[in-house]
Structure 1
Amino acid sequence: MSWIAMAIAFAGVAPAALAAENGMSPWQLGLQRSVSDVMDYIIWFEQFTLAIIVVVVLFVLALLIYVMVRFNAKSNPVPSKTSHNTAIEIVWTIAPILILVVIAVPSFRLLNKQLEIPEYEMTIKATGYQWYWGYEYTDENMNGLSFDAIMVGNSLDLEEDRIARQEVADERGVSLNEVPRLLANDYDLVVPVDTVVRLQIAAADVIHAFAMPSMGVKIDAIPGRLNETWFKARETGVFYGQCSELCGKDHAFMPISMRVVTKEQFAQWSEAAQDDIDVANEQLWAAVASEKKAASAASDAISVAAK
């Protein structure tokens, strides 16, 4: 599969305005920027298979050119009557098998890396509905914290969509670009950085699929079945994905937004969210904004000092 095809199949999104630091950019064709070890391997595997594809295509092109030049009617007026060539048939049977084996070995390693869950520190259950996601923090210390995440904005009316997203941006103290069209939710899935998270996936109605490209996560949500995978984000920020299994008329409008924060911020948020998730989110947005402001001030100070 080419890198363009993988981008379409795995990411499935084309945002209008996104911060590149979150793994995506306008009119992006390639894969999202990796923030996990699993996604590092996916990107390597994509480049590895692309290299094999390029070699095969160039080889076939060279054969076609050779045949056109060597065996055209002018150069070869008396065509060969050879019906078959045993050596060539053995080569074109064995060579594809060897190529597939070379591709299969790292492919199986990738599948194992995605599905073999290491020792985890927390568990989150994500349930797909038509057409939104519900999240439940199942660990005992979270006291059954759960919420639904609904897409911000209007999928059809651009002006109503902009107004709705601007209201959310003002509420969070961020720019409009940080509330991307068709990707932002009213509630983010909040997780701590550098933490192994076991992700349990289910569906309440039809088949959905939970895809978070930057984390290297893509797994089906099937009614009556509980699938599991995992991720470990190594950077803070807000990362986006979508349902990646056709599930009805609003399939394109059930995004996933994941906010990765420091462990200290997550501890404060989780404790407050058990009483009032809206208040907890406001406190978290303020803490993140303060952290960004401090980082920006430090960067400006370094720039000034360098001058």
Structure 2
Amino acid sequence: MATWSNLMFQNSSSPLMEKLIFFYDNTMLIVTLIVTFIFYMMITLYKNKFMNMYLIDHQSVEFIWTVIPSFFLIFIGFPSIYLLYLLDESKSPTITLKIMGHQWYWSYEYSDFKNIEFDSYLNNDSTSQTFRLLDVDNRLILPMKFQIRALISSYDVIHAWTIPAFGVKVDAMPGRLNQCSFFINRPGLFFGQCSEICGANHSFMPITVESINLKTFINWVNSN
């Protein structure tokens, strides 16, 4: 869960989020090198009292400052495209969820089981030991270490179902069915919020996912 002192991403809870963090670190390293080099060149040119007549207009110089940036783009582009394909891949999911956005709450349906569907509202009980504006009355219960597919849409306006720890952010659009896939690799509570400005109570439709082991999940399914 994000805290006030967080300056970076949340701890990853899925392989996709781990790869997103690696890609971010790789890109920031390249950007840091570029900014450092340009800053150094600016200082050098500012302090240098001599002028090279071939620096402004010369074929060799133009060739260098065209080719070198293209290599940087390749080093960023290939991991980016690879990651985009991974984020869109949904191979042999174990569980399929149907997620619908409303103004201003979420509704969930477990398509693989009968009669398991519920609405999830913001928890207004301020006296209990819950996280303010992040916890809900009905948490989304999911087993860890299984591939999960989510089918996401909306009944009214555009919402966005987002769990930062999973690396998942998918728009819920009326009349359109979007899909995402994720794999939870550890137990715990994971929080998210609607990330699309959807109206007056946009900030009051949180998402809470509770990850549990398979045996506990089967007992929960049988009790519903």
- Shorter-chain-normalised TM-score: which range? over 0.9
- Look up the match of 1:102: 75
Specify the SS of the correspondent of 1:197: strand
What per-residue deviation string (whole Å, max 9, x for no partner) do you get for residues 110-134 of structure 1?
1111111121111001111121111
2:184 is the alignment partner of 1:198: no
Does the CA contact (< 8 Å) of 1:184 and 1:256 recur in 2? yes
Does the CA contact (< 8 Å) of 1:192 and 1:263 recur in 2? yes
Q: How does 1:10-49 map to 2 (within 5 A)?
A: 23-49=1-27
What per-residue deviation string (whole Å, max 9, x for no partner) do you get for residues 181-229 of structure 1?
1111111000011111111111111111111111121111111111111
- Look up the match of 2:33: 55
- Look up the match of 1:220: 171
What per-residue deviation string (whole Å, max 9, x for no partner) do you get for residues 14-61 of structure 1?
xxxxxxxxx433332211111111111011111111111110110110
Specify the SS of the correspondent of 2:179: strand
- Measured in 1, the distance between the counterparts of 2:93 and 2:144 equals 13
2:136 is the alignment partner of 1:188: no
- Measured in 1, the distance between the counterparts of 2:55 and 2:25 equals 40
CA RMSD of aligned residues (A): 1.7
The structure richer in strand per residue is: 2
Aligned residue pairs, count: 224
- Measured in 1, the distance between the counterparts of 2:200 and 2:120 equals 18
- Measured in 2, the distance between the counterparts of 1:86 and 1:114 equals 42
Question: Which 5+ residue runs of structure 1 have no aligned equivalent?
Answer: 1-22, 154-163, 170-175, 274-307
Residues 224-233 or 23-32, more deviating: 23-32
Question: Which 5+ residue runs of structure 2 have no aligned equivalent?
Answer: none
Specify the SS of the correspondent of 1:258: strand
What per-residue deviation string (whole Å, max 9, x for no partner) do you get for residues 46-97 of structure 1?
1111111110110110110111111xxxx24x89597522222222222222
Post-superposition offset of 1:260? 0.5
- Look up the match of 1:256: 207
Does the CA contact (< 8 Å) of 1:24 and 1:33 recur in 2? no
Specify the SS of the correspondent of 1:257: strand
TM-score by length of 2: 0.94
- Measured in 1, the distance between the counterparts of 2:52 and 2:16 equals 54
The alpha-carbon distance between structure 1 residues 133 and 52, as it changes in their structure 2 partners (threshold 3 A), is same
Does the CA contact (< 8 Å) of 1:210 and 1:244 recur in 2? yes
**Percent identical across equivalent pairs?**
34
Does the CA contact (< 8 Å) of 2:55 and 2:61 recur in 1? no
Which structure has more RCO (C-alpha within 8 Å, separation ≥ 6)? 2
- Look up the match of 2:191: 240
2:87 is the alignment partner of 1:114: yes
The structure richer in helix per residue is: 1
2:108 is the alignment partner of 1:147: no
What per-residue deviation string (whole Å, max 9, x for no partner) do you get for residues 231-254 of structure 1?
111111110011112212222221
The alpha-carbon distance between structure 1 residues 90 and 148, as it changes in their structure 2 partners (threshold 3 A), is same
